Amino acid sequence: MITDPQGPLHDVRVLDCSRVLAGPFCGQLLGDLGAEVIKVERPGTGDDTRGWGPPFAGELSAYFLSCNRNKQSVALDLSKPAGLDVFYRLAAKSDILLENFRSASADKLGLSPEKLLAHNPRLIICSISGYGRTGPLSDVPGYDFAIQGLSGLMSITGPVDGPPSKVGVAITDILTGFYAATAVLACLHARKTSGHGYAIDLALLDCAVASQVNMAQAYLTSGAVPPRQGNAHLQIVPYQAFATQDDWLILAVGNDSQWQRFCQAVERPDWSADPRFTTNTLRVQNRHELIPLLEGLFRTRSAAAWRELLDRADIPNAPVWNYAQLFASEQAPVRGLRVTVRDAAGRPVDLIGSPVHLTGAALPAPTIAPRLGQDTAAVLTRVLGIDQKTLQQLRRDDVTG
């Protein structure tokens, strides 16, 4: 099979002006696929997440490392006319621009989508905010924790009888990053025919609601607010974590034939014939009778013993691992879950690997997230042709870092 020597997006330039997580995560995805990603940051401070630690790898926080690989960093003060001029010139030579400025700030700086499209009519602009560019919350800052609360996500997450809980990572930012990457790539494709640019308005709240799929749809269909299920499933039974003699085990019986095999494997054929449990619909309706029976059963053996038995019967199951167990597993190196790169001093740094495995193109080797402004001179010289004298003047005027 023919393999392209470069990634699918090797001829795409991205200006990543976003901060924190949703936009940077989108930019990282595009960089993983071969795009040239130029991260534009404030001189002196840069992206907020540079300081979100410990832990740190040298001067780079683990948080910043997690969403800024395969990028270059340009430090540029957009509040100064000379900095804004350089930015416009970079935008004119770019395909995609990612930003999460507040609407009022973008308008004040001259960075509204309308203004940017005037400088580059073919530019694809993805504006990410907490609540979108329209509506009564349009200029309210968006934070993942708040979005998890407002979106309904926390109402369905956590113990049945406990408080509402957030997901352990800033999941609404990550989901928005995925939606952003999908949207900009769709516009990039459309531009080949249309010839013009696009302005995308993405809100964390909208993406969080859309990502709750069956749970949010269950409410719209029935009018009933779904209760928290803990580690169980609203519409599939048994599909949850059970305590064994020594650890937790996930049982995921997804259909009635698996339920029949499960009952045979655990030597409870009476359960498979019980009219309360023969179909998934009946098991959901009678979960309060079935689950206590299963809880008692699983406490009779170790997790390893249950896994061996269930694997033989081809019943979906899994342990509950922490990160140490995950990265020590045999699966981790095969799938590249951990990759080792070198920092500026040549020291090895472990990063999370890209999940994309592609046949037909060579994806770029991962590079460590950049130090603040490390590529300013190189990018401005290569992309804009700015000479050394002008670069020095920009530095003296604190326009660049």
Q: Which residues are catalytic?
A: 173
Number of helical H runs and strand E runs in the chain: 18, 13
- The tally of CA atoms less than 13 A away on the side-chain side of residue 214 is 4
Specify the 3-state DSSP secondary structure of 156.
helix
| CA 114 to each of CA 102, 117, 189: distance values in angstroms, whole numbers, following the listed order | 15, 5, 21
Identify the burial level of 114 via C-beta atoms within 10 angstroms of its C-beta, where 0-12 means exposed, 13-18 middle and 19 or more buried.
Answer: exposed
Sequential DSSP letters for 99-136: E---HHHHHHHT-SHHHHHHH-TT-EEEEEESS-SSST
Task: Say if CB 151 and CB 224 are below 8 A apart.
Answer: no
Report the amino acid identity of residue 29: L
Report the length, in residues, of the chain.
401
Q: Give the Cα-Cα-Cα angle 220, 222, 228 (nearest 5 degrees).
A: 85
Q: State how beta strands 198-203 and 124-129 pair.
A: parallel
Q: State how beta strands 248-252 and 239-243 pair.
A: antiparallel
Residues 6 or more apart from 147 whose CB is under 8 A from it?
130, 153, 172, 204, 205, 208
The pair of three-digit structure tokens given for residue 54, joined into one six-digit string: 């410990």
